[in-house]
Amino acid sequence: MTPEEGIKFLLLFFFIGGSFWILRPLGRAVAKKIEGSGSASEELLGEMDALRHDVAQLSERLDFTERMLAKQQEQPRVGPGGR
């Protein structure tokens, strides 16, 4: 190996090493961003579960109200116009 090849090798080594040294924090930032979006999707899933629960409760209340109205219409009316 000639001295010129050795210098080229060292420059290449430091260039690649420096590139990794600079790009490593960028890679970490991208990884955190990706990881953070995962928690956002978990948050959305939690909100969807809460909405499903609310819709189920509203459905039960609507069924109850419909049954009460149907009962009220079936009962005979007593009063002045009931003859």
Contact (Cβ atoms closer than 8 angstroms) between residue 42 and residue 48: no
Cα 9 from Cα 12, distance rounded (Å): 5
Contact (Cβ atoms closer than 8 angstroms) between residue 67 and residue 61: no
Contact (Cβ atoms closer than 8 angstroms) between residue 76 and residue 82: yes
pLDDT by residue for the chain (83 residues), tens only, comes to: 788 888 888 888 888 887 877 778 888 888 887 777 666 677 778 888 999 999 999 999 999 999 988 888 777 766 676 55
How many residues are given for the chain?
A: 83
Verdict on whether the full-model pTM lies above 0.75: no
Q: φ, ψ for residue 11 (rounded to 5)? A: -60, -45
- DSSP letter for 71, please: H
Tokens 């009063």 belong to residue: 79
